[in-house]
């Protein structure tokens, strides 16, 4: 055994401590899975052993799940038929190891402190009894990366918790705390932190039996699909899944199939059903894309991604935020939350205080929910100094500027702040539209000037877009990445350009929706199709949310900067201007593409049809597919242009930025992943066809054409499954 240590005490109780060498958190690597066989052999063959405890040797939890590095390599290979059958023994190895564990003939208990997730929780589910500390969190989050629990979870959880609770757990992927887990029957006993091992032992000594309920004679699963309680649950499953996923995610459907097809079978047969469906799911392009972007790439970026080497780690102890408005207040909170002393500055004391009050409000809510102690809340708020005095910035390691979007004002506060800080301190602008290189011209030390673009609301949005200007030094970039890591954000790095990466590509989604509107496609079709692609909202709804006047202002500035002609009828810019002419600013004044009558659901604005009469009000499967393709490909081709122009230098920054930044359809793994799984050549050809029909906006950049010719891809191809 390489990943477990075993000790047997005087009472004949063997304790197996899970402790993967060289890692802070346990995961089930192939090597750890192989160890389960050795655990079973030891329990079975050592006559001095009366019962066994499975626990963790790590301080920070039981086990985080399968090793996704390994699982991700072969994901998405689309093996089926004979290849799938040949691979089954290897891919279902953990399933059968755990089946041997639960039928070993002696009592086995899992003692859970901290997190037990995914494969880690499935390991615990194979025990005959589960003790968890009050601080434990358990769950099956596989669905969030396009997988299903493939080591017995889809069979054991419904048998323990019933169908409804099992589907809730597996279809949302959200972990639950120990009390909730006990309430639904997947944990047997909850104890104080540090007491799980003792309680596990006590259960064995009290005569706990080593037989699973489903292996007892006459076992009938409660709430099966044909029972009174289970049948309505099952009837609702397909519509429930479809209304949320529009068929984009095979994992959800296959989880439901596992439960439905497995519930009535003996455990061995049920596990075979799960093993096949797991492999089908793991071999889907969605699983590959989601494991990569939502886990591996995201984690790599959170650790600093391609941080320039040779710069010592920069620890920000004191930081200033200029402008205590919506963004500044959020940034101040994000800093104080991780222990950074924060100076929050505004022109009037009342404004600065209001910014600080935002943090006070957030911590008050957290205390009320029991998620934060009063002391921690007081400490957090105590770290924020709200003032109008720029002298208070002295000694700051970093300054974030978040004043109004105005070049002259930004230049002024840059100078004032720079006068107070040391020569090594970083000055960052949170501008959402102004090019960083231009802003840095106001700075005394442009090499220390960088864009750190946060997203709203700052406390909830994980993404940060770092913008490197022409003058920005590599050292400043490294420091900015360290700061993001301190804030526990996920940074992507882009080179300076109009709209940077996120705003530029996101804009194309709204624009394509407007093109459709101008063509006369019914708005309801446009917004529905938007959601069907997997985007969180339709493009027209989003335009209202973002605010039409804001999009119009950015477009107007672009025309001035690039010396573009005035827009004419049929242009999307003209549509925006016409809307503003009628004071239709979007959701913020209750008047946009939709009307927002108080207390009633939104409804389409009647005047819209006068501007652009509806010509197509009937949808068909062909039309829907075509419109879906337009909405997704328009964004993907723009993302590819960003790579072509070196605005984004790595596919993973584009993909993670798109999903975390504006909710780009997660099942695709992001716009660049979408191009890869479509096939670069196929995607490029499709864009050329769209360009012939709709114009240059779909024209593929040189990068794609070259890659298509050479047969290249952005990410490595899946490795074939080992037989």
Q: Where in the sequence numbering do the catalytic residues fall?
A: 453
Nearer to ligand NAI, 117 or 403 (CB): 403
Nearer to ligand NAI, 332 or 707 (CB): 332
| Smallest distance, ligand NAI to C-beta of residue 416, A | 8
Among 35, 142, 223, 346, binds ligand NAI (CB under 6 A): 346
> For the chain, how far is it from start to end, CA to CA, in angstroms?
24
What is the greatest pairwise CA distance in the chain?
88
Q: What are the Cα distances from residue 636, in Å, to 178, 232, 320, 432, 678? A: 42, 41, 37, 21, 11
The answer to the question of residue 267 lying near ligand NAI (CB under 6 A) is: no
Confirm if 203 and 131 have CB atoms less than 8 A apart: yes
Rounded Cα–Cα distance for residues 664 and 672 (Å): 11
Among 51, 141, 158, 323, binds ligand NAI (CB under 6 A): 323
| Smallest distance, ligand NAI to C-beta of residue 352, A | 8
Residues 627-636 as b/e (b if ≥16 CB within 10 A, e otherwise) read bbbbbbbbbb
DSSP string, 304-321: TSSPPTTPPP---SEEEE
Count the site residues for ligand NAI by CB under 6 A: 23
The answer to the question of residue 718 lying near ligand NAI (CB under 6 A) is: no
Please enumerate in sequence order all residues whose Cβ is within 8 A of that of 644, keeping only pairs 6 or more positions apart, or say none. 701, 702, 703, 704
Helix axes 621-644, 523-532, angle to 10 degrees: 60
Q: How big is the chain, counted in residues?
A: 723
Q: What is the DSSP letter of 719?
A: P
Among 325, 567, 663, 679, binds ligand NAI (CB under 6 A): 325
Q: Supply 124's token pair.
A: 């615990």
Q: What are the Cα distances from residue 579, in Å, to 139, 275, 507, 574? A: 48, 55, 17, 9
Among 82, 226, 404, 560, binds ligand NAI (CB under 6 A): 404
Q: Binding segment for ligand NAI among 167-175, 325-333, 391-399, 614-622 (CB under 6 A)?
A: 325-333
Nearer to ligand NAI, 399 or 721 (CB): 399
Q: Binding segment for ligand NAI among 75-83, 166-174, 399-407, 444-452 (CB under 6 A)?
A: 399-407
List of E strands, 388-448: 398-401, 426-429
The answer to the question of residue 134 lying near ligand NAI (CB under 6 A) is: no
Q: Binding segment for ligand NAI among 165-173, 233-241, 311-319, 404-412 (CB under 6 A)?
A: 404-412
By beta carbon distance, the residue nearest ligand NAI is: 325
Nearer to ligand NAI, 166 or 658 (CB): 658
Nearer to ligand NAI, 506 or 714 (CB): 506
DSSP string, 320-373: EEE--SHHHHHHHHHHHHTT-EEEEE-SSHHHHHHHHHHHHHHHHHHHHTTSS-
Residue 75 DSSP SS3? coil
The answer to the question of residue 322 lying near ligand NAI (CB under 6 A) is: yes
DSSP string, 552-568: HHHHHHHHHHTTPPPP-
Nearer to ligand NAI, 353 or 379 (CB): 353
Which residues are registered as beta bridge partners of 398? 319, 426
| Smallest distance, ligand NAI to C-beta of residue 426, A | 17
Contacts 24+ apart (CB under 8 A), 40-43: 40/97, 40/100, 40/101, 40/104, 42/6, 42/14, 43/14, 43/101, 43/104, 43/106, 43/108
Q: Binding segment for ligand NAI among 44-52, 405-413, 666-674, 714-722 (CB under 6 A)?
A: 405-413
Among 171, 403, 551, 650, binds ligand NAI (CB under 6 A): 403
The answer to the question of residue 402 lying near ligand NAI (CB under 6 A) is: yes
Q: Binding segment for ligand NAI among 95-103, 148-156, 376-384, 448-456 (CB under 6 A)?
A: 448-456
Please enumerate in sequence order all residues whose Cβ is within 8 A of that of 601, keeping only pairs 6 or more positions apart, or say none. none
Among 98, 161, 413, 647, binds ligand NAI (CB under 6 A): 413
| Smallest distance, ligand NAI to C-beta of residue 231, A | 47
Among 277, 327, 343, 643, binds ligand NAI (CB under 6 A): 327
Binding mask 209-248 for ligand NAI (x = CB under 6 A): ----------------------------------------
The answer to the question of residue 324 lying near ligand NAI (CB under 6 A) is: yes
The answer to the question of residue 409 lying near ligand NAI (CB under 6 A) is: yes
The answer to the question of residue 357 lying near ligand NAI (CB under 6 A) is: no
The answer to the question of residue 507 lying near ligand NAI (CB under 6 A) is: no
| Smallest distance, ligand NAI to C-beta of residue 326, A | 4
Nearer to ligand NAI, 153 or 499 (CB): 499
Nearer to ligand NAI, 2 or 456 (CB): 456
Q: Binding segment for ligand NAI among 78-86, 339-347, 481-489, 616-624 (CB under 6 A)?
A: 339-347
Residue 462 burial class via C-beta count within 10 angstroms: exposed 0-12, middle 13-18, buried 19 and up: middle
Among 168, 379, 405, 475, binds ligand NAI (CB under 6 A): 405
Sheet-wide strand order for 115-117: 61-63, 115-117, 137-139, 176-177
Rounded Cα–Cα distance for residues 442 and 430 (Å): 15
Q: Binding segment for ligand NAI among 144-152, 172-180, 450-458, 619-627 (CB under 6 A)?
A: 450-458
DSSP string, 271-284: HHHHHHHHHHHHTS
The answer to the question of residue 350 lying near ligand NAI (CB under 6 A) is: no
The answer to the question of residue 351 lying near ligand NAI (CB under 6 A) is: yes
| Enclosing H/E stretch for 161 | helix 153-161
Rounded Cα–Cα distance for residues 25 and 293 (Å): 21
Nearer to ligand NAI, 285 or 586 (CB): 586
Residues of this chain, 417-446, that bind ligand NAI according to CB under 6 A: 430-432
| Smallest distance, ligand NAI to C-beta of residue 401, A | 8
Binding mask 451-490 for ligand NAI (x = CB under 6 A): --xx-x----------------------------------
Nearer to ligand NAI, 9 or 406 (CB): 406
- Phi, psi at 448, each rounded to 5°: -90, 5
Rounded Cα–Cα distance for residues 110 and 127 (Å): 6
Using CB under 6 A as the criterion, which residues of the chain lie in contact with ligand NAI when the complex forms? 322-328, 345-347, 351, 402-405, 409, 413, 430-432, 453-454, 456
């Amino acid at each position: 055994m390489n990943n477990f240590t075993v000790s047997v005490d005087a009472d004949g109780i063997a304790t197996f401590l899970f402790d993967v060498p060289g890692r802070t958190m346990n995961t089930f690597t192939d090597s750890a899975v192989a160890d389960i066989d050795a655990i079973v052999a030891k329990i079975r063959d050592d006559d001095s052993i009366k019962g066994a405890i499975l626990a963790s040797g790590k301080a920070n939890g039981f086990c985080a799940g399968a090793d996704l590095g390994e699982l991700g390599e072969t994901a998405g290979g689309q093996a089926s038929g004979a290849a799938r059958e040949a691979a089954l023994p290897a891919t279902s190895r953990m399933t059968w190891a755990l089946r041997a564990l639960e039928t070993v003939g002696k009592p086995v208990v899992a003692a859970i402190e901290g997190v037990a997730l995914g494969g880690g929780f499935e390991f615990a589910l194979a025990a005959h009894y589960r003790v968890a500390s009050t601080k434990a969190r358990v769950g099956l989050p596989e669905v969030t990366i396009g997988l299903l629990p493939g080591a017995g979870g889809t069979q054991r959880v419904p048998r323990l918790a019933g169908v409804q609770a099992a589907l809730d757990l597996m279809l949302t992927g959200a972990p639950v705390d120990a009390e909730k887990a006990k309430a639904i029957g997947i944990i047997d006993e909850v104890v104080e932190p540090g007491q799980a091992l003792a309680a596990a032992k006590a259960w064995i000594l009290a005569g706990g039996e080593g037989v699973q309920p489903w292996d007892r004679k006459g076992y009938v699963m409660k709430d099966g699909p044909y029972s009174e309680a289970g049948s309505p649950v099952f009837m609702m499953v397909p519509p429930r899944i479809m209304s949320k996923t529009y068929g984009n995610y095979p994992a959800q459907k296959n989880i439901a199939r596992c439960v439905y097809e497995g519930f009535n079978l003996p455990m061995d047969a049920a596990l075979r059903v799960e093993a096949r469906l797991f492999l089908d799911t793991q071999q889907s392009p969605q699983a590959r894309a989601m494991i990569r972007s939502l886990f591996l790439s995201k984690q790599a970026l959170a650790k600093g991604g391609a941080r320039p080497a040779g710069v010592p780690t920069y620890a920000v102890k004191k930081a200033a935020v200029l402008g205590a408005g919506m963004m500044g207040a959020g940034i101040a909170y994000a800093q104080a939350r991780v222990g950074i002393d924060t100076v929050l500055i505004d022109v009037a004391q009342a404004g600065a205080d209001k910014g600080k009050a935002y943090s006070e409000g957030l911590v008050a809510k957290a205390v009320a929910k029991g998620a934060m102690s009063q002391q921690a809340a007081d400490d957090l708020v105590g770290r924020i100094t709200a003032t109008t005095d720029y002298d208070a910035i002295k000694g700051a390691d970093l300054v974030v500027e978040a004043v109004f979007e105005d070049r002259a004002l930004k230049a002024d506060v840059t100078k004032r702040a720079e006068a107070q800080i040391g020569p090594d301190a970083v000055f960052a602008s949170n501008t959402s539209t102004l090019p960083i290189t231009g802003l840095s011209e106001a700075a005394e030390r442009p090499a220390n000037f960088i864009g750190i673009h946060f997203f709203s609301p700052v406390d909830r949005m994980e993404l940060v877009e770092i913008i490197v200007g022409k003058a920005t030094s590599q050292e400043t970039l490294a420091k900015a990445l360290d700061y993001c890591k301190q804030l526990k954000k996920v940074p992507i790095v882009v080179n300076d350009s109009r709209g940077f990466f996120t705003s530029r590509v996101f804009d194309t989604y709204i624009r394509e929706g407007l093109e459709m509107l101008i063509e006369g496609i019914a708005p309801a079709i446009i917004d529905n199709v938007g959601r069907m692609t997997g985007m969180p909202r339709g493009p027209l709804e989003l335009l209202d949310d973002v605010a039409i006047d804001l999009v119009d202002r950015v477009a107007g500035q672009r025309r001035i900067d690039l010396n573009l002609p005035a827009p004419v009828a049929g242009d999307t810019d003209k549509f925006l201007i016409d809307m503003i002419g009628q004071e239709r600013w979007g959701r913020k004044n209750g008047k946009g593409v939709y009307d927002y009558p108080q207390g009633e659901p939104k409804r389409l604005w009647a005047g819209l049809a006068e501007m652009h009469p509806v010509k197509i009000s009937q949808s068909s499967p062909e039309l829907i597919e075509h419109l879906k393709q337009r909405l997704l490909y328009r964004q993907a081709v723009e993302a590819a242009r960003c790579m072509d122009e070196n605005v984004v230098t790595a596919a993973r920054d584009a993909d993670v930025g798109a999903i975390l930044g504006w909710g780009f359809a997660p099942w695709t793994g992001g716009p660049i992943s979408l191009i890869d799984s479509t096939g670069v050549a196929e995607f490029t050809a499709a864009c050329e066809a769209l360009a012939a029909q709709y114009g240059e906006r779909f024209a593929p950049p040189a990068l794609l054409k070259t890659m298509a010719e050479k047969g290249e891809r952005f990410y490595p191809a899946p490795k074939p499954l080992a037989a």
